[in-house]
Amino acid sequence: MSSDPKSADPATISFTVQESSWTPRKEMTVLDRDIPRIDGPDKVTGRARYSHDMRLPNMVYARLVLAKTPRATVDEIDIAAAQQIEGVVHVGIQKNAGDELAYLGDDSVVAYVAAETPEAAKDAARAVRFMLSPKAPVVTREQSLDPEAPQITRRGNVRAGRGPRGADETEALLEKSAHQVRATYTLPIQHHVCLETHGCVVDFDAAAGEATVYASTQMVSGNAGMFAGLLGLDASKVRIVCQHMGGGFGSKFGPDLQGAIACTIAKATGRPVHLMLDRPQEFQMAGNRSGTHAEVALGCDADGKLTAAAGTIDKLGGVGNGSFPGFPYIYECPSAAQTRSVHTALDSNRAMRAPGHPQASFVMESAVDELAYAVGIGPLEMRMRNAPDDVWKRHLRVVAKEIGWAEHPHKTAPGTPGADGWTEGIGFGLATWRAGGSGGGRCDITIERDGSVISSCGVQDLGTGSRTYVAAIPAEELGLTIEDVTARIGDSALPPGVGSGGSVTTGSIAPVIKQAAHNARVEFEKRLSEITEVAPGGYVWENGSIRTEDGSFDVPFRDACSLLGNKAITASAGFDESNHLTAGGRLHGAQAARVRVDTVTGRVVVVDMVAIQDTGLPLNRLAVRSQINGGMIQALSYGLLEERIVDPELGLLLTDNLESYKIAGSREIGAIRSIIDDEDDRWSVTGMAEATSIPGHSAIANAIFNACGARLRSVPFTPDRVLDALAERA
C-alpha cells in the first residue's frame, strides 16, 4: 500500500511498498535490449572526469614515501632536504626513528610530502632519507610455517578454523572409492590492477567547517562518515563525489591510509590536496586476491559419482585472513576439508571479484577433471553426472555445443601433438554466485513541468554501467526513451546508494528505481485525474505519450507535464525485502575454453572461450554480455599471466609495475562469446561481475590437459610449467 496522498505534500509524496511489477519482457521497449552506455561519449572523448583528473584552485599534490622492506626497524629519518625543495609546502613523518615496519604494505609508509606541482612532490619524495635495520622477511608460506619464524600477527602465523568433522569416516569413504586423486594445487596472489589507482582529492574548508572529497570509491554514500571522522567534521558536512572511476573490483571501499594522510595535509595547509597512488605503490599497498595452497583428496565411484572430499587449504592473505569458500566447491559430496589462514609480512588481501571462489574453482575443477580421465568418461560427462541441479547441466550442454565438443576428436584421453608440436584441447568449469540485493538504497524521481525527468541515486558506476540503468528504468516505466531521462549518481548529497560489492548493486538499486518511477507515475495520474476525471490506473504510457484507456485523453508526455500546476512531482522509494522485484536465489553458469598448446615451447594460446549465465531479468543485454566478457578475460589473465613475486631472501616486491606484472592484452585474448540464459524466467534483477570471473582459468587448465596431458596444478600456466608437466607425464 502507498502512503495516504492527502496526508503529505503532494509535490514530494514518498511511496515505499506500493504494488508494482516489471513490464512483461516482450512488451519492454527500453529494458532487456542492447542499450549503449550513456556515459560512453564522455569517456571516449575525454570529457569524463575521474578523481585523478580533478584540478582545484590553490591545490597541492601529495606523494607517499614507502620503504621496500617488509620487516624492519627505522633507525633514522631525515626530511630536511625535502623541505628545502622549491614548491614544497608540507612534509610529514609517518614512522619515526625506533618505529617498526611490520609488513610490506601501508605499514611501509615512512613519510609523505605535498608540493605545488607534481614534479616538486616527486622530487621531495625522493629527497626523504631514512635508514632501516631489516629483519627476516617472512613473505612465503614456508617461511611463515617455520617453527622458528617470528610472529607476523598477534594471533600467530597460523589461524585455523574449526577442525573438520567426520575425518575418519570421510577417509574411509575415500579409501573405498573406485578412483581418487590426491594432489596439491597452488594459486598466487593476484592484484586488482585498477586502471585508476587508489586515492582522492580532499577539498577541506576549515572556516566553513565542511569538505568535498573526490574519491575513487565503490561506496560513495558510506564514505562521508569515514572522511568526516578523519577531518573532525559531522558526516552531514562532508560530500563525497565520484562521477567516474577506473575500476575497483572489490578493493576501493574506504579512505585507506592515503585518504587519511590527504586529510592530514588538507588540515595542515588549508589547501585542496590531490593524493593518488602511483603504480608501484598501488601494487605494494592497495590489496590483492589471496593466494592458496591446497592439499586435497577427492574420490568417486566406478560411474564417476563423487564419494568424498578431504584436505587442508591454506589461505595466503598476507596479514589478512585470505578467502576460500570451502572444499568441495559447487559439486557436492561428504567432506572433511579444513581451511586455515597462513599469515605473511605482506599487505592484507581485499575482496576481489567473487572472493575465494576462483581459487576454489581451480582446486575443485582440476580434481574433478583428473577423476574424469581416471574413470574414462570424459570431462563433460563427469560434470553432467555430478552437477548439483539441472540448470548447470543445461548450461554445460550449451557451452559444449558452442565450443564444438561433439566434433572434438579426443574426449576421454589427452590429444597427441602434430608434426609441428601443436595440439588442441577443450576444458570446462562451472560458475555460481548469489542473486538479489540488500537494503539501504533510495531513489528520487522528479518530473518537472517542462517534461524533464531526473532519476537521482547516490550509487556509483565502477565502469559496469549502473548509470545507464538509473536512466533506463524510469524511461521504461514512463514510456519514454533513455535520452528523455537524466541520471544523477556518484554524489553523497543524493539519496543514498549502496556499496558496489558482491554484485549487489543492480539487485539493490534497480527495484528501488523501478518503485520510485512507478510512484511518480501514480502521482502524475492523480494530478491528471483532476482534469480527465479518469482514475489513476486508467492510463497508458508509451511512445512518449500518455493516453487514457478509453481514448478520451491522448497527449505527448511533455504537453501533459505542463498540466501539473506549479509544482513538480518528486516521488521516492527505498529497498524493501518483500518486494518481488528483487527475489534472491542462486546464479548458475558454465564456461568452456578451447586452447592450442605448443609442446615444444610450452606456449598456450586460448583460441576460444564461451560462457552462459542465468541472470533473471537482464536490464541491459549489452552490459550483461560485457560483464560476462570481462569476467572471462579477467580469468584468462589470471590463468596465463598474473603472479605477484616477492624475493624470499630480501622481501622485495619484484612485480610492482606493469612490465614485470603481466596482464592479458589483445594478443592473448582469443574469441570471447557470451550467452544470456533466456530460459531463466525469474523476475529478479542481479549483477554479473562475480560469477563470470570464477571458472575461466579452471577451464583453460583443463583444456591444456585435454590437449597434451600436461596437468597444471599451479597458476599461472606459464610455458616452463607446461614443459615441466609434460616431462613429469613422460
Question: Does residue 675 have a pLDDT over 60?
Answer: yes
Question: Does residue 14 have a pLDDT over 80?
Answer: no
Asked whether residue 575 falls in the same domain as residue 588, the answer is: no
- Please report the pLDDT score of residue 16 as a whole number: 36
d(CA 688, CA 433): 9
Asked whether residue 558 falls in the same domain as residue 610, the answer is: no
Asked whether residue 377 falls in the same domain as residue 410, the answer is: yes
The total number of structural domains in the chain stands at: 3
Q: What is the CATH number of the domain that holds 258?
A: 3.30.365.10
d(CA 495, CA 371): 53
**Among candidates 572, 590, 574, which has minimal Cα distance to 582?**
574
Task: Enter the C-alpha cell of residue 465.
Answer: 554501467
d(CA 546, CA 551): 10
- Please report the pLDDT score of residue 446 as a whole number: 98
- Which amino acid, 705? F
Asked whether residue 480 falls in the same domain as residue 542, the answer is: yes
Strands 485-488 and 545-548 come out as: unpaired
- Please report the pLDDT score of residue 578 as a whole number: 54
Question: pLDDT tens digits for 41-55?
Answer: 999 999 999 999 999
Question: pLDDT tens digits for 325-377?
Answer: 999 999 999 999 999 999 999 999 999 999 999 999 999 999 999 999 999 99
Name the pLDDT band for 709 (thresholds 50, 70, 90).
Answer: very high
Last residue of a domain, which of 276, 300, 335? Answer: 276
Strands 335-342 and 306-316 come out as: parallel
Question: pLDDT tens digits for 489-548?
Answer: 999 999 999 999 999 999 999 999 999 999 999 999 999 999 999 999 999 999 999 999
- Please report the pLDDT score of residue 8 as a whole number: 34
- Please report the pLDDT score of residue 18 as a whole number: 44
Name the pLDDT band for 163 (thresholds 50, 70, 90).
Answer: confident
Give the distance between the most distant pair of CA atoms in the chain.
87
- Please report the pLDDT score of residue 576 as a whole number: 73
Asked whether residue 96 falls in the same domain as residue 242, the answer is: yes
Q: Measured in whole angstroms, how far is the alpha carbon of residue 587 from the centre of its chain?
A: 16
Whether 655 is in a domain gets the answer yes
Whether 176 is in a domain gets the answer no
Whether 510 is in a domain gets the answer yes
Asked whether residue 316 falls in the same domain as residue 429, the answer is: yes
Question: pLDDT tens digits for 539-593?
Answer: 999 999 999 998 999 999 999 999 998 899 999 999 875 555 655 689 999 999 9
Asked whether residue 21 falls in the same domain as residue 107, the answer is: no
User: What's the mean pLDDT when you consider all of the chain?
Assistant: 94
Asked whether residue 638 falls in the same domain as residue 667, the answer is: yes
Last residue of a domain, which of 556, 582, 608? Answer: 582
Whether 304 is in a domain gets the answer yes
Task: Enter the C-alpha cell of residue 540.
Answer: 497508458
- Please report the pLDDT score of residue 583 as a whole number: 54
Q: What is the mean pLDDT of residues 274-290?
A: 98
- Please report the pLDDT score of residue 145 as a whole number: 98
Where in 244-334 does DSSP place strands (E)? 273-276, 291-300, 306-316
Asked whether residue 503 falls in the same domain as residue 607, the answer is: no
Last residue of a domain, which of 515, 549, 582? Answer: 582
Q: Measured in whole angstroms, how far is the alpha carbon of residue 578 from the centre of its chain?
A: 27
Answer left, alpha or beta for residue 502, where phi above 0 means left and psi between -120 and 50 means alpha: left
β-bridge partners, 552: none
Asked whether residue 226 falls in the same domain as residue 96, the answer is: yes
Range of the domain at 229: 51-66+72-135+198-276
Whether 178 is in a domain gets the answer no
